[in-house]
Amino acid sequence: MVTRESAVVEFRAFNIPIAPVPLRWVGTFDPSGDMGIPLANGRTCPRHSGMKSMTGYGRGESSAAEAKVVVELKSVNRKQSELVVMLPPDWESLETRIRESVARVVSRGRCEIRVSLDVPEGETTGNRINRSVVQAYSREWSEVAAELGLSGAAAHVSLELLARCPGVMQSKTRVIDPEVAWPGTSAALASALESMDAMRRREGEALERDLESRIALIRSALDRVRALAPEVLNRYRQQLAQRLQSAGLEGITVDDERILREVVVFADRSDISEEIARLESHFQQYEDCRKSREAVGRKLDFLAQEFHREINTIGSKANDARIAAEVVLMKTELERFREQVQNLE
């Protein structure tokens, strides 16, 4: 493990344009990890493909303009992408850049980005009342009272009312220019993104293992269905001959031309070879998703719908209790598969 208490690092992992700045790390780097982050000593953590959860948390901090900038990221499940940015007062000019940086990493889910300033002691001297704002509010309320014809206590503008108005109380804190603080802010943001991405990736690995077990169970059930399918025709032919004989029609055998003709119609109606072939194709698409470096949550969600379509068709065509039991098993595992896919980016 490589630990950096103080380092000069140029972040390029998330394509955030920043200048090298002193950075105090929260946590450690593992050179064998999967983040693809250049380290101060020239070593690089390689990136690996894999699924990522939509749930994660990351925190980064850095110095900027003699203050400490702290960036916290929290992401949760959401069908579409939603970014919520909370900034210090008068820092709105940085919102677009922060959104663009986070959007390169988060393609699905709701992500809250909170940027806060930790000003050293001595820089803050308490609050003060903005008298010009108070006077403006007082005049406005008095004019409203006059327009409404109010007088006496009803028209009285109290200090309690004025104190609740926005902008009346102001913190006597040194104003930090957001443009001056941007290099440090972007460094803290990159550190928070790296931390959150690592957490999302770890949970994604656990989800991938669970999805793999569900797919394996569906594959096994499909293999049993494939083995049972030829027996269905033979059983139908024998049962048809037995029913005809029970009805008093003598001389009817399983090789009778009329029975064979009925069996051909039944075989065409209950043929599930196309559905099995399409399911095999879906299994391959799932394997492709596992190897992909892109976000695969939406694709797997759609793939689950296609799995359900083919499995449902097999169930409607089966005409066999044993195949129907396997279809129920496949549907059960597929529903669990779909529930887990809802957690993937």
**What is the C-alpha to C-alpha distance for residues 272 and 221, in angstroms, rounded to an integer?**
14
Higher pLDDT residue, 16 or 42?
16
Q: How confident is the model at residue 157 (pLDDT cuts 50, 70, 90)?
A: confident
pLDDT reported for residue 265: 58
Higher pLDDT residue, 23 or 300?
300
> What tokens were used for 177?
């220019």
Q: How confident is the model at residue 230 (pLDDT cuts 50, 70, 90)?
A: confident
**What is the C-alpha to C-alpha distance for residues 196 and 71, in angstroms, rounded to an integer?**
11
Determine the average pLDDT of the residues in 46-51: 58
Q: How confident is the model at residue 218 (pLDDT cuts 50, 70, 90)?
A: very high
Chain Cα centroid distance, residue 44: 26
Model pLDDT for residues 79-99, shown as the tens digit of each residue: 888 999 999 888 999 999 999
Q: How confident is the model at residue 33 (pLDDT cuts 50, 70, 90)?
A: very low
* One-character DSSP codes across 189-238: HHHHHHHHHHHHHHHHHHHHHHHHHHHHHHHHHHHHHHHHHHHHHHHHHH
Determine the average pLDDT of the residues in 180-192: 92
- Nearest partner of 142 among 162, 164, 163, 157, judged by Cα: 157
Cα torsion 318, 323, 324, 330 to 10°: value is -110
* Helix/strand/coil for 62: strand
Determine the average pLDDT of the residues in 153-173: 76
Chain Cα centroid distance, residue 334: 20
Cα torsion 274, 277, 279, 282 to 10°: value is -130
Q: Which amino acid is at 35?
A: M
pLDDT reported for residue 141: 84
**What is the C-alpha to C-alpha distance for residues 159 and 216, in angstroms, rounded to an integer?**
70
pLDDT reported for residue 311: 95
Query: Is the distance from CB of 73 to CB of 192 less than 8 angstroms?
Result: yes
**What is the C-alpha to C-alpha distance for residues 213 and 219, in angstroms, rounded to an integer?**
10
Q: What element of type H or E holds 153? A: none
Which residues 6+ apart lie within 8 Å of 203 measured at CB?
Answer: 52, 53, 55, 56, 343
Determine the average pLDDT of the residues in 284-313: 92
Q: What percent of the chain has pLDDT over 90?
A: 39
pLDDT over 60 (residue 13): no
Determine the average pLDDT of the residues in 110-138: 79
pTM of the model: 0.63
Neighbours of 217 (CB within 10 A): 17
**What is the C-alpha to C-alpha distance for residues 232 and 314, in angstroms, rounded to an integer?**
13
User: Out of 69-73, 103-107, 251-255, 287-291, which region has the weakest mean confidence (pLDDT)?
Assistant: 251-255
Chain Cα centroid distance, residue 205: 14
User: Out of 40-44, 138-142, 206-210, which region has the weakest mean confidence (pLDDT)?
Assistant: 40-44
pLDDT over 80 (residue 171): no
Mean pLDDT of the chain: 78
